[in-house]
Chains A and B, each alone.
Chain A
Amino acid sequence: MKTNFLKLAAVLGLILAGLVLGGCGESRTPFAGTYKSMEPFAGKGYIDLNLQEDGRGTWTLAGKTVEFTWMVNEKKVWIYTKTGAIIIVTPSDGGKMLSADMTGEWHKGCPANSCVVFRKVEQGGQGH
């Protein structure tokens, strides 16, 4: 019975490791940094997008900041909001440009009428 418990503990340990590793995704380093939208958004100025290496991030527009978490999956940046929405962001130009699909759905490319394009202005994310 002791051996069985050890086997069970080993499997539970593997699952826990899977949970931890599954939440990490690919390396965030290439995309960590501060980005600015290419165009003003909703007549309120430019959006500042900050992606920190620890997986946290902020979206700031007209002094209002929204916090989120992010990860890299299949070479795309996935932004998870607290409400459960997912914004799929497609990097281009070696991570210097990001195209955010604002539909909250997955599309092969970024839909033209729902796409916010960002340009990297600073390498590495700024912590709080």
Chain B
Amino acid sequence: MAATDKPPGTEAKTELKIDHIGQEVNLPAGTRIVSQGEAPEFFYVIQSGKVRVFRETADRIRTDLTELGPGSYFGEVALVTGQPRSASVEATEDSRLVKVSKVEFDTLLDQNPQLARHIIQQLASWLVAGDTRLETEVVHQVKLRQISWFDYVLMCGLSVVLALIFNIYNDNKIPLIHDWGQPAVAEIPIGQALALYRQNKAVFVDARKSPFFDQDHIKGAMNLPVILFDLMYPMFQFTLDQTPGDKDKTLVVYGGTISRRMDEDLARMLIRRGLKHVVVMKQYRDWASVFPITKHPPKPAATMPLGVPGMLEWIPMSIFLLFLIPPIRRSPYLSVFCRLLLGAIFISFALSKILRPAVFALNVVDYGIMPSFGVNLWALALPWAELLVGLFLILGIRTRAAATLIAAMNIIFIVGLVNAILHHMPINCGCVGEVGEPVNWLKVTKNVGMVLMCLQIYLYDRLLVLDRGGFILRDRKI
């Protein structure tokens, strides 16, 4: 091996003085002395000037390895091993070198044990350094396929931090915990409410969205959806005024979701408008089994055309077919496809939710499985998590951890969707668009497809991965 075969970072060599051998040559700056890949013929000792050692790839990407000055030498190891030059050398200044042929070099080695020992030491140290580099690379490759808690802390922590910062500056910001510090509203036990109902001494107000009210409500109740309060209150007041005696009755507000924000919010708003005797029903979920009910058959939300994002979300269905073909099922190229698709889907779905968290928070409330204190935090953090994991998948950063997070999100979505379908909830999915997206079994199937895609990424992803050394463009096997 020669100096030209050295890896980057090799230290300068000890000075070598030779007499009566070789041929002195003067080279102007810029002269190529040794070319990578050529057969070795000479050993060089620098007497004056400077040379640079560098490597060049087939597509002309150059890496400078080292610079050598007077007293240094290069080309000796290639003469010993007989291997082609693995690097090039060019003069960076006008230089004077002694050019030693192989025959002369062999003679020099025979007569100079100190030089021979030095070359052996160099070779040995490069071997050890090579082994260390190989081990580091193997460990790194293994670590690349491992998942650590740090990955999850990184993605979840970053999502929460970005969500909180963005919420501060967002025109459509929402409080972290809805109704935090708001005065409590008087509650009425359901038995007392029923007594008032039978005596016609109360007006019952349903605070839910109109599709819920249309589906079932307490017989004779009025609907004032809390989300449209400011716009619809005049109509509510008008209707109340039209019925003699209603103005002085107790207003019993009910909602029926674990999130409670519908009924309690509405009660507070009515009190702020100067209405007295406003109470909320204590056993907020039991009214349907206690009161006489007006029922209508379940009517799913109207379907709005969703355009390109709508088409995009159906591509995961293709995974069911692709999984039937074993070579494709295990292909790392399929992993890249799954990563890009899931990344694009999750990023595009996250954007509107990030901009208008209040709309998404109401979608979360509609599902009726998130407690009140968690709704806004979930509505703020989830879209950022979707955005980040989507980004990580596309860029190839921590892809296995990102895939497990997306799978976890999808499993939560599946639970919510199945619960909504089984309970005939007339809700909007909140998956792609903000409205006009009914929940149905096809949506569940799409989410199952995405879980399968995550599984495929988890098991087989190893291409186009961004690690510390840059993008891995080809399949690397350990």
Question: What is the interface of chain B mostly: helix, strand, loop, or mixed?
Answer: helix
Beta-carbon contact of B231 and A81 below 8 Å: yes
Beta-carbon contact of A62 and B234 below 8 Å: yes
Beta-carbon contact of B235 and A59 below 8 Å: no
**A128 is an interface residue with CB less than 8 A from chain B:** no
Residues of A with C-beta under 8 A to B352:
22
Beta-carbon contact of A83 and B229 below 8 Å: yes
Beta-carbon contact of A41 and B359 below 8 Å: no
A79-128 residues at the B interface, CB under 8 angstroms: 80-88, 102-108, 114
- B228, B305, B361: the one contacting A81 at CB < 8 Å is B228
Residues of A with C-beta under 8 A to B231:
59, 66, 81, 85, 87, 102
Give the complex CA separation of A85 and B238 in angstroms: 22
**B466 is an interface residue with CB less than 8 A from chain A:** yes
Beta-carbon contact of B227 and A114 below 8 Å: no
Q: How many residues on B have C-beta within 8 angstroms of the other chain's C-beta atoms? A: 43
- A8, A15, A43, A106: the one contacting B302 at CB < 8 Å is A106
Beta-carbon contact of B301 and A84 below 8 Å: no
Give the complex CA separation of A74 and B306 in angstroms: 10
- B210, B354, B358, B361: the one contacting A103 at CB < 8 Å is B210
A39-60 residues at the B interface, CB under 8 angstroms: 41-44, 59
- Nearest Cβ on chain A to B23's Cβ, whole angstroms: 44
Stretch with Cβ within 8 A of A (4 or more), from B76-84, B281-289, B387-395 = B387-395
Residues of A with C-beta under 8 A to B209:
104-105
The residue of chain B having its C-beta at the shortest distance from the C-beta of A62 within the complex is B234
Beta-carbon contact of B172 and A85 below 8 Å: no
The residue of chain A having its C-beta at the shortest distance from the C-beta of B426 within the complex is A105
B328-365 residues at the A interface, CB under 8 angstroms: 347, 351-352, 354-356, 358-359, 361-362
Residues of B with C-beta under 8 A to A88:
435
B356-389 contact mask (Cβ, 8 Å, vs A): 1 or 0: 1011011000000000000000000000000100
B228-255 contact mask (Cβ, 8 Å, vs A): 1 or 0: 1111101101100000000000000000
The residue of chain A having its C-beta at the shortest distance from the C-beta of B166 within the complex is A19
**B439 is an interface residue with CB less than 8 A from chain A:** no
Beta-carbon contact of A15 and B358 below 8 Å: no
Give the complex CA separation of A97 and B347 in angstroms: 36
- A3, A15, A80, A105: the one contacting B211 at CB < 8 Å is A105
Give the complex CA separation of A68 and B436 in angstroms: 21
Beta-carbon contact of A86 and B235 below 8 Å: no
Give the complex CA separation of A18 and B162 in angstroms: 16
Beta-carbon contact of A41 and B234 below 8 Å: yes
- Nearest Cβ on chain B to A66's Cβ, whole angstroms: 4
Give the complex CA separation of A36 and B320 in angstroms: 53
B126-158 residues at the A interface, CB under 8 angstroms: none
Q: Give 27 CB contacts A-B under 8 Å.
A: A1-B470, A3-B470, A11-B391, A12-B391, A15-B391, A18-B347, A41-B235, A42-B238, A43-B238, A59-B230, A64-B230, A66-B231, A83-B226, A83-B227, A83-B229, A83-B358, A83-B362, A85-B225, A85-B227, A86-B434, A86-B435, A102-B232, A104-B209, A105-B209, A105-B301, A105-B436, A107-B302
Nearest 6 A-B pairs (CB), nearest first?
Answer: A106-B436, A84-B358, A42-B238, A85-B227, A42-B234, A106-B435
